[in-house]
Amino acid sequence: MPVFEETSRASRELRNLPTIAQPLPRLTPRPQPRGRHAQTASSAPSSSSNGTSDDLERYEVVVIGAGPAGLFLTLNLARLGLTDDSLACFDAKPAALKAGQADGLQPRTLEVLRSLGLHSEILDEGCHMSEVAFWNPSQATGKSGIERTTFVPDVAVRARFQHEVTIHQGRIERILEENLGLYSQRGIVRNTRFVGYTLDDSEGGGVDAEFPITVTLEQRPEGSSSSDWDSAEVTTKKVRTKYLVGADGAHSRVRKAMGLRLEGESQDHVWGVCDFVADTDFPDIRKRSAVHSEAGSLMVIPREQTVTGDYLTRLYVQIKDEVSPEDKSVMAEDEEKEADELRKKRKYQEKRQKVTLNYIFEQANRVFAPYSIKVREDTEVDWYAAYQIGQRMTEAFTKQDKQGAERIFIVGDACHTHSPKAGQGMNVSMMDSYNLAWKLVHTIHGLAPEGASDGPGSAAASPHPVLATFSLERLAVAKQLIEFDTKFSSMFSGAIGASDDDEAVSSLTHDQFLQVFRDGNGFTSGCGIEYLESTVVQPVVASQEAPQGCARSPINPDGDVLNGCLRPGRRLADAVVRRFADANPRHLQDDFLSTGRYRILFFSSTDIHDLQGRTAKALAHIGDTIIPAFPKSMIQLTVLHPSRTQRFEWTDVPKQIKQHAEMRFHGVGVGEEDVYGVYGVDEKLGAAVVVRPDGYVGAVAGLDDTQALEAYLRRCLRTL
């Protein structure tokens, strides 16, 4: 017990609290609270010089929808620095999701959640899927029913988490919303639905040029049930905003207001889905299992343990011959008329008659034979549904104003819908938001340089070149998603190796299916996504004759990019390194948390102890010139060294390392993985890499070529 104590109140108060992200620096003026959401609404007239004032609430970003995409966007925006004065998220539903729907998180999404500190409960309580079992009609003579053909790893590429996780979507939403509570007092505004917007960016009067979008919303009182939108209590409200994002799902009203529509066909069969506690002798019920039988196909998705200790299972069961060809248009989005709606409803009801819970289990048992499955006694089915979804997407994800600046965005299911078989839904949606969030805040905070503003056109000519890359990058991913899902789900719905087929053909068909599964792993794991060349992705030039200002690649051209080899546009893979300062093993990705900052990942060469060498010169340029040129904290340095066993002291390496990277200076422990090899860097040459705020490699350069990194960074970030 101390004789006396002295504490500094200001600093110590923070030590107890959960860690919160440090907001990004802001170079633009903070928004003045205005309108009804401001505390001093009447005393804060518009400061806009080129428009008339009105009394509407003003936000910098309005998000519509609080599913995984909208919630994740709102949370990321808040963490990066948008406060309640600047950001609002409205959702039509009265409360958070309670059951069913998406439940799979791919390895890349887990890495991103890890980089936000949101991983623990998901990893601890979710179900891990490490292995996939493939089952096909028995090839043995005289045997009917299915047999296991093979096991394959669920994740075949390098990933920090070598598995997928399944966990209730509502639980993920709860985790996101709880974290949002650390940044936002208001949280999600529920019972509020989007009606329409106007973008008034004309030069004339009546306009607030800073907040050119007026959003019309309907609100109903708290405690309303979901069918209450016709009630007399519903009120209309308008707010102004700089940017509007629709994360309002497959039936997106924002998308419709933008004049966009989901295009593509409904190719899939009707499927039944059910979450329950299984009682079965099917051996692989706790593995992801793709089962093809002569009676149809099904997929087993093991799910998390419940609070009572039971393990949930999700089954996707193909409902054969439920849908005749003319039903294909049933889910078309663009037929919005009353009559169509009625026709749809009738068709749904017809199907519902057929796809009962009993029907799902009868069909599952036909597929599973000689095994059987039922709901475990004393347990209730959690949720079941029937669905029929094809692969469809919109042709654009944004709308620009007259100056060519992106103003209205859609993310998630509002942009792309597809079957749930490949477990992509929630992942691609959340990653849309993750891609958009930092670009929006960099633009709003004035951290991203402005470009030409000659009106709508290519990303390069956009007034906000960094923000313009959102649509470039995510449209390409959505296209890949649609292509993969089309291939995968049509193969999955087809028959494989029925016993009346020729045996050679059957096994080929299974091999083809497996090949699609394996080839798709880079995409389905999320770890193989590659963003195209743009302002924020500078491709490497292989030749030594690269023009001035262009990076020449110091990266092994034969390196395996799916297993960590660096490539601009791909995410920085994880590796375990040994921190110099404290000898702790450390995941390299933990130096690249999602705080909205750019990082330089510096691979020292073996000349690190030569204080006049290439390593020292490159570090001097980075530490003394590049980092100080940009706003404080916006560029962080991580340094790797190739010394394996040799002991050295801080005084034996260039001083910029301790100055800028004392706790981000790592080597390779004895007997540990060769990280230089993993990343494709020759330790005799070294390399310098810029990693974007979202963990994707932006640019790569040799140690003699750090001015190429500087040029890249000047395109991405404002200098002081």
Nearest residue (CB) to its own copies, 265 versus 503: 265
Of the residues 91, 111, 164, 173, which one makes contact with its own copies according to CB under 8 A: 173
Work out the angle between the directed axes of helices 503-519 and 465-493 (0-180°, nearest 10). 160
Work out the angle between the directed axes of helices 107-115 and 425-444 (0-180°, nearest 10). 40
Question: Does residue 558 belong to the site contacting its own copies (CB under 8 A)?
Answer: no
Of the residues 29, 142, 205, 309, which one makes contact with its own copies according to CB under 8 A: 309
- The whole-angstrom separation of Cα 267 and Cα 418 is 10
Work out the angle between the directed axes of helices 425-444 and 68-80 (0-180°, nearest 10). 30
- β-strands 687-691, 598-603: how paired? antiparallel
Stretch that binds its own copies, among 28-36, 90-98, 538-546, 612-620 (CB under 8 A): 90-98
Nearest residue (CB) to its own copies, 312 versus 626: 312
- The whole-angstrom separation of Cα 469 and Cα 531 is 9
* Touching its own copies, residues 241-280 (CB under 8 A): 249-251, 270, 273
Q: Smallest distance from the beta carbon of 503 to its own copies, in angstroms?
A: 23
Residues 6+ apart with CB under 8 A from 581: 662, 663, 665
Q: Smallest distance from the beta carbon of 210 to its own copies, in angstroms?
A: 31
Residues 6+ apart with CB under 8 A from 163: 107, 128, 129, 130, 154, 155
Spell out a b/e string for 608-628, using b for 16 or more CB atoms within 10 Å of the CB, else e: bbebebbbbbbbebbbeebbe
Question: Does residue 307 belong to the site contacting its own copies (CB under 8 A)?
Answer: yes
Stretch that binds its own copies, among 27-35, 42-50, 124-132, 509-517 (CB under 8 A): 124-132
Of the residues 306, 453, 507, 556, which one makes contact with its own copies according to CB under 8 A: 306
Nearest residue (CB) to its own copies, 2 versus 325: 2
Stretch that binds its own copies, among 35-43, 168-176, 449-457, 459-467 (CB under 8 A): 168-176
Return the number of other C-beta atoms located less than 10 Å from residue 42's C-beta.
7
Question: Does residue 229 belong to the site contacting its own copies (CB under 8 A)?
Answer: no
Question: Does residue 593 belong to the site contacting its own copies (CB under 8 A)?
Answer: no
Nearest residue (CB) to its own copies, 515 versus 584: 584
* Touching its own copies, residues 626-685 (CB under 8 A): 649-650, 662-663
Bond from prior residue into 370 cis (ω within 30 degrees of 0): yes
246 forms beta bridges with 64, 410
Burial class of residue 586, CB neighbours in 10 A (0-12, 13-18, 19+): middle
Residue 548 vs residues 537, 552, 711: alpha-carbon distances, Å: 18, 10, 11
| Nearest Cα residue to 173 out of 436, 430, 550 | 430
Question: Does residue 539 belong to the site contacting its own copies (CB under 8 A)?
Answer: no
Type of residue at 259: G
Q: Smallest distance from the beta carbon of 581 to its own copies, in angstroms?
A: 4
Nearest residue (CB) to its own copies, 163 versus 641: 163
Per-residue contact flags (x/-) with its own copies for residues 127 to 146, judged by CB under 8 A: xxxxx---------------
* Touching its own copies, residues 347-366 (CB under 8 A): 348, 351-352, 355, 357
Stretch that binds its own copies, among 53-61, 92-100, 474-482, 532-540 (CB under 8 A): 92-100
The DSSP code for 21 is: P
Per-residue contact flags (x/-) with its own copies for residues 365 to 384, judged by CB under 8 A: --------------xxxxxx
* Touching its own copies, residues 407-446 (CB under 8 A): 417
